[in-house]
Amino acid sequence: MKVLVTGATGLIGRKLVGRLQGAGFDLRVASRQPERLSAAEHAVLLPGVDAPDEAFLALMRDVTHVVHCAALNNDRNASETDYRAANAALTGRLAKAAAACTGGRFIYLSSIRAVACPGFSGTINEATPPAPQCAYGRSKREGEIGMLEAYASTGRADATALRLPPVYGEGMRGTIASLMRLADTALPLPAGALAGMRSLVASETAADAVLHLLSRPGPLRPAYVAGNATPLAMSEIITAFRQGFGRPRRLLPVPAIPLRLAATLLGKQAAWQALSATQICDPSLLASEGWAPEADTFDRLRGLARQPLRPGKMCQ
């Protein structure tokens, strides 16, 4: 069976290609930058959102399954229109071509931002009503809807969205990369203000979840939520990185109230809420179907910091 993978140069896509090859799948890799991939990976150019239908149909030739990893995220210069084009419209066009030409599954790598904003406190599972609050989250939710509608129009239920919490690994960006940079300093940090719990997932574990969804028997649900087995406090995440860097812990027992007041005075309430929220992703559904969530997140974060490549270079 041949699997089409988009976004194979990304954080998860790179890991997924190796997992699929190891499982014996043939691959076709579609990327905006196919020159960054080896010829052995059967790399082709990912059509743009304005490409003709024929380009998307040709992409599906001899393909059984599609895994759509390509996305626009963590781009401060992107507009809502940019996000909708890259994450919603392109997903819909790929899904429409796949539903018409392939006989297997369509796995869309989505995000918990399609459900809740960074400042949301609570548990997120498949039953949580989607309420995205940012351009990225809205575009990912629109991509989910477009994918499911494309498959429903052909009477099929072979498509699903895999909603991921913050993903860490070599090449990561966003909040976890920022925390890693912060950990690689001698600055003392307020441990009491960093008590919010967060679910994370390693790029390798996310790739394993995709392989599980491609391989497991039985029908797919419209969406699945992934996450590690035990969420970590923000202070624990920093501690893991500092241990990996060989730095002292230096977390001070400062209460959260004065920092919250300072954030309010500076007009940084949203940033404070995102930093202090407890946001837990419940992977029970995936686990009930045979997927094993990672249980060693602290050690993996520590090991990531021990790698010779520093986060400032990782996020270029």
Q: Does residue 27 surpass a pLDDT of 80? A: yes
Whole-number pLDDT of residue 314 = 35
**What pLDDT was estimated at residue 42?**
76
38-52 pLDDT per residue, tens: 654 578 889 999 999
pLDDT at position 54, please?
95
Q: Where are the beta strands (DSSP E) in 126-237?
A: 159-164, 167-168, 189-190, 197-198, 201-202, 223-225, 232-233
Fold annotation for 2-170+202-228+281-294: Rossmann fold (3.40.50)
pLDDT digit string, tens, across residues 70-129:
999 877 788 999 999 999 999 999 999 999 999 999 999 999 999 999 889 999 999 999
pLDDT for res 233: 92
Written as one string, the DSSP assignment of 254-287 is: --HHHHHHHHHHTT-HHHHHHHH--EEE--HHHH
| The pLDDT of residue 298 is above 80 | yes
| 189-229 per-position pLDDT tens digit | 887 677 889 999 999 999 999 999 999 988 999 999 999 99
> 58: Cβ–Cβ under 8 A, 6 or more apart, which residues?
none
Q: Which of 18-32, 147-161, 263-277 has the lowest mean pLDDT?
A: 263-277
pTM of the model: 0.91
**Confidence band, pLDDT 50/70/90 cuts, at residue 247:** very high
Q: Is the pLDDT of residue 315 over 50?
A: no
Domain limits, the chain? 2-170+202-228+281-294
What is the strand order of the sheet 197-198 is part of? 122-124, 279-281, 197-198, 232-233
Averaged pLDDT for residues 257-278 = 77
Residues making up the chain, counted from first to last: 316
Q: What is the mean pLDDT of the chain?
A: 89
